[in-house]
Amino acid sequence: MEVKYGAHVTTTCQDIDAAHIAHGIERWFQANARALPWRIERSAWKALVSEIMLQQTQASRVAERFDAVMQEFPTPRAMADAPIDVLLAHWQGLGYYRRARSLHASACMIVQDFNGKTPTDSDALQKLPGVGRYTAGSIASIVGGHREPIVDGNVRRVLSRIWADDGVTGDADLEARTWDRATELVQACCDPGSCNEGLMEFGATVCTPRNPGCDACPLATACRANASRAAESIPRPRKRLERPVEYVHALLLMRGDNVLLEQRPEGGRWAGMWQPVSHVHTAALGARAVGTVFDVGGVRSAGGFDHNLTHRQLKVRVFRATAPSGMRLASSTRRWVHRDAPGVALSSLGRKILSVMAGVI
C-alpha cells in the first residue's frame, strides 16, 4: 500500500483509516506518556536494556531497577567486561533469568561485532541474542526513527479491538493480521517512535485487558469493538492447560548462622542462580524421607508454600537440619553463606525458601 508521510489515507483492511488511528495515538502519547527512566536521554543501549528487562515484566517493576542497572552498566563494554553474576544480582525478583544471560551475551556481541555501539537497524538488532522482531522494531523505531512495526500483547489487544478481530491469542493468523495492521499504522504515522511507543502505552494504561477505559478513549468512535460493546472479550484468550504439579523439597542446612546454598545448572529454570539445596519429587515427602535423600539426620519440617510458574505449579516443602560436625559440603557449586546476607544472586524461589526461615511466608 502506498502512503504519503502524514497523509490522510483509507486502508484496504476493512476500511479502517490507519492515519486517523496513528495520529490519534501519537497525540494521546504526547499528552499522556508516563515518566519512565529509560525515556530520559534516550540511547540505543538504554533502549535495548529496558526492552529486555520489560519482556514479561511490568513497567513499574522495571522502573525500580533500571537506574541501578544503568549505573552499573552504562555501556555495552561495561556489561561485557563484568561477570554474569553481577548482572544476575541486579536481576533478582524480575524473573525469567534467561533474559539477563541474553542481555549479557548481546553486550559481548555489540563489543565484538559492532565496535561497542548498539545498532538501531532492525536486521542488525535481530542478530543479538534474545532480540526478536518486536524488540528490534521497538528500538529501531523509537531510537532510530525507522518505520518498523511492533506487536506485543498490548499492541495486539489494541489493534484487535479497533478492527473487532476476535481471533484467539497466539493464533498464527491473528498474529499475521496484527503485524499487517501495525505496519499500516507505522507507515501512516508522523513519528514511528511516538506511534509505536504510544500503542504500547495505550494498551498498558487505557485499553487494558479488563475494564478498558472506553469512555475516555480518544479512538472510541473508530473502534469497532467499542461500537459493538465487545471490547473486553477481544481478543479471545488462549485456552489454559492444566499445569502439572511438582513437589520441591528444600533443605535449610544450617551451620550456626550460615546456610548451605547450591548453584543451579547453566540450563533450565533459574540457570546459574543460587538457592538452598533442593530435590524435586512427584509426591510430598516427610522429614525422614528428606533426611534420607540428603543423607543428613535431625531433619524437621519448617513450613511450605506454593510457587506458580508459567507451565508448572510447584508445591514447596521446606525442611531444616543442622550440618553434622566435620561434614564437608562446600564445592564449586555449593557454598556456605550468612542466612541474612547471602551475597549471591538468589532465584525467586530461593528467596522464598530463605524467608520461611525468618517466618515471613
List residues with catalytic annotation. Answer: 51
Nearest Cα neighbor of 198 from 39, 41, 52, 13 is: 39
Give the C-alpha separation, 64 to 59, whole Å: 9
Q: How far is CA 196 from CA 96, 125, 182, 186, 262, in A?
A: 25, 17, 8, 7, 43
CA distance 105 to 128: 8
13, 184 contact by CB (below 8 A)? yes
Q: Which residues pair with 318 in a beta bridge?
A: 250, 303
- For 31-85, the DSSP string reads HH----GGGSS--HHHHHHHHHHHTTS-HHHHHHHHHHHHHH-SSHHHHHHS-HH
Q: Note whether 178 and 185 are within 8 A (CB).
A: no
List of residues 6+ apart from 251 with CB closer than 8 A: 260, 276, 277, 278, 279, 290, 294, 296, 299, 318, 319, 320, 321
Do 125 and 25 meet the contact criterion of CB atoms below 8 Å apart? Answer: no
State which H helix or E strand residue 139 sits in. Answer: helix 133-142
The CA–CA distances, whole Å, from 241 to 168, 238, 295, 311, 313 equal: 15, 9, 37, 9, 12
Q: State the pairing for strand pair 313-322/245-255.
A: parallel
